[in-house]
Structure 1
Amino acid sequence: MPVTYWAEYAWLGDTVEPDVAIEVSSDGRITAVRTETEAPPPGATVLRGCTVPGLANSHSHAFHRALRGTAQAGSGTFWTWREAMYQVASRLTPDTYHALARATYAEMALAGITCVGEFHYLHHAPGGTRYDDPNAMGQALVAAAAEAGIRITLLDTCYLAAGIVNEHSGIAPNQHQLRFSDGTAADWAERASELKPDDHSRIGAAIHSVRAVPADQLNTVAQWAADRGAPLHLHLSEQPAENEACQQAHSRTPTQLLADHGVLGARTTAVHATHLTDTDIALLGGSSTGVCMCPTTERDLADGIGPAVAVQRAGSPLSLGSDSHAVIDLLEEARAMELNERLRTRTRGHWTAAQLLRAATGNGHAALGWPEAGRLEAGALADFTTIALDTVRTAGPAPRLAAEAVVYAATSADVRHTVVGGRQIVRDGVHQLVPDVPAALVAAVA
Structure 2
Amino acid sequence: MSAFAGLANCHSHVFHRALRGRDVGGDTFWAWRERMYAVARVLDPDLLHDLAVATYAEMRLAGIGVVGEFHYLHHGADGVPYDDPNTTGEVLISAARAVGLRICLLDACYLASGFGRPVEGVQRRFSDGDTDAWAQRMADLAARHAGADDVVVGTAIHSVRAVPPEQLATVVAALPQAPLHVHVSEQQQENADCLAATGRTPVALLAEAGAWSPRTTAVHATHLSRADIATLGAARAYACFCPTTEAELADGVGPSTGLRDAGARLTLGSDSNTVIDLFAEARAVEMHERLTGGRRGSWSAAALTEAATATGYASLGFAPDLAAADAFTLHDSVRLAGAVEPLWAATAADVEPPKDLPYEADEVAAMMRRAVDAVWGRR
Q: TM-score, normalised by structure 2?
A: 0.95
Give the distance between the partners of 1:362 and 1:432, measured in 2 at CA.
Answer: 27
Give the distance between the partners of 1:176 and 1:287, measured in 2 at CA.
Answer: 35
Name the larger-Rg structure. Answer: 1
> Which of 5, 9, 12 does residue 60 from structure 1 map onto?
12
Q: Which residue of 2 aligns with 1:359?
A: 307
**CA deviations over 1:172-215 (Å, ceiling 9, x no partner):** 11111000000001110000011132231110000000000011
Task: Extract structure 1 runs of 4+ deviating beyond 3 A.
Answer: 372-376, 431-435
SS at match of 1:340: helix
Q: Which residue of 2 aligns with 1:414?
A: 350
SS at match of 1:162: strand
Q: Which residue of 1 aligns with 2:259?
A: 311
Give the distance between the partners of 1:87 and 1:148, measured in 2 at CA.
Answer: 27
Q: Are 1:193 and 2:124 matched, yes or no? A: no
C-alpha spacing 1:294/1:274, structure 2 compared with 1 (3 Å): same
Residue ranges of structure 2 left out of the alignment (5+ in a row): 374-379
In the TM superposition, 1:121-132 aligns within 5 A as 121-132=72-83
Query: Following TM superposition, by how much is the alpha carbon of 1:370 offset from its aligned partner in structure 2, in angstroms?
Result: 0.3
Contact preservation (8 Å) 2:111, 2:127: yes
SS at match of 1:436: helix
> Greater shift after overlay, 138-147 or 433-442?
433-442
Paired residue type of 2:21: G
Give the structure with the higher percent helix.
2
Query: Following TM superposition, by how much is the alpha carbon of 1:225 offset from its aligned partner in structure 2, in angstroms?
Result: 2.2
Query: Following TM superposition, by how much is the alpha carbon of 1:392 offset from its aligned partner in structure 2, in angstroms?
Result: 1.4
Q: Which residue of 2 aligns with 1:387?
A: 330
Paired residue type of 2:371: A
C-alpha spacing 1:257/1:375, structure 2 compared with 1 (3 Å): same
C-alpha spacing 1:326/1:232, structure 2 compared with 1 (3 Å): same
> Which of 24, 34, 43 does residue 83 from structure 1 map onto?
34
Query: Following TM superposition, by how much is the alpha carbon of 1:375 offset from its aligned partner in structure 2, in angstroms?
Result: 4.4
Q: Are 1:206 and 2:156 matched, yes or no? A: yes
Percent identity, aligned pairs only?
Answer: 53
Give the structure with the higher percent strand.
1
Residue ranges of structure 1 left out of the alignment (5+ in a row): 1-48, 166-170, 377-381, 419-423
**How many pairs were matched up?**
369
Give the distance between the partners of 2:322 and 2:222, measured in 1 at CA.
Answer: 26
Give the distance between the partners of 2:280 and 2:360, measured in 1 at CA.
Answer: 25
* Root mean square deviation, CA, Å: 1.3
Give the distance between the partners of 1:375 and 1:138, measured in 2 at CA.
Answer: 24
Give the distance between the partners of 2:243 and 2:356, measured in 1 at CA.
Answer: 27
Contact preservation (8 Å) 1:267, 1:367: yes
Q: TM-score, normalised by structure 1?
A: 0.81
Paired residue type of 1:395: A
SS at match of 1:127: coil
Q: Are 1:260 and 2:208 matched, yes or no? A: yes
In the TM superposition, 1:323-342 aligns within 5 A as 323-342=271-290
Query: Following TM superposition, by how much is the alpha carbon of 1:372 offset from its aligned partner in structure 2, in angstroms?
Result: 4.1
Paired residue type of 1:136: T
SS at match of 1:126: coil
Paired residue type of 1:149: G
Query: Following TM superposition, by how much is the alpha carbon of 1:257 offset from its aligned partner in structure 2, in angstroms?
Result: 0.3
Give the distance between the partners of 1:261 and 1:124, measured in 2 at CA.
Answer: 27
